[in-house]
Amino acid sequence: MAFEVEEIPGEAKLFLRVHEQHYVPSNDPTVKRPSSACFKDPNLSVNWAKYSSPKETAKPSSAAVVELVAQDCRSLQQTVIHCPIQEGEKDGPNQAHSEIRGPKEKSTRHMFVQRSKVVWVRNNIPV
């Protein structure tokens, strides 16, 4: 049975994987943070927490997973759309798949970093 497209509420949590190339030192050398570069895609793929978890969102090359809140994304002039991937489609099935759509200028990408929260980190990630 095909996944239905649902309305994502404002308080919904969204998980974004952070590739190891995009997990960089912060001002505190013992703490890493996502680079703004991981928010550049105008159609940014995320997983809706209703159907996924941070661990399920990670891929082998992920250093971390960050959490975003849908209404925070919308406040940055983005649309947040549930677009589940059906069985048989590329990278499917994934009922959680959603997209944060909209132009992401450099300042907007930095605002995404500010609004994101690291919720999963791969074990033994070098600092």
Partner 1 sequence: MLANSNQTQKLSPELEARLNELSLLKNGWNEEDAVQTNPDAVEAARNALRHLSLLRPFQAPSIVPTFDGFLQLEWHNAIRSLEFEYTPEMWAILGVADVNTGHPIYNTASAPLIAMEELEKFYFWFSTDELIWPSK
**Residue 85, interface with partner 1 (CB under 8 A)?**
no
Residue 34 contacts by C-beta under 8 Å, 6 or more apart in sequence?
A: 18, 22, 23, 24, 64, 66, 113, 116, 118
When asked if residue 61 is in the footprint of partner 1 (CB under 8 A), the reply is: yes
Query: 104-123: which residues touch partner 1 (CB under 8 A)?
Result: 105-107, 110, 114
Among 8, 16, 22, 57, binds partner 1 (CB under 8 A): 22
By beta-carbon proximity to partner 1, the closer residue of 5 and 31 is: 31
CB of 9 to partner 1, least distance (A): 25
Residues of this chain, 27-46, that bind partner 1 according to CB under 8 A:
27, 33, 35-37, 40-41, 45
Q: Tell me how far CA of residue 35 lies from CA of 10, 20, 25, 53, 62, in angstroms.
A: 25, 10, 9, 22, 13
Query: Which C-beta is closer to partner 1: that of 6 or that of 110?
Result: 110
Query: Rounded to whole angstroms, how far apart are CA atoms 10 and 65?
Result: 20
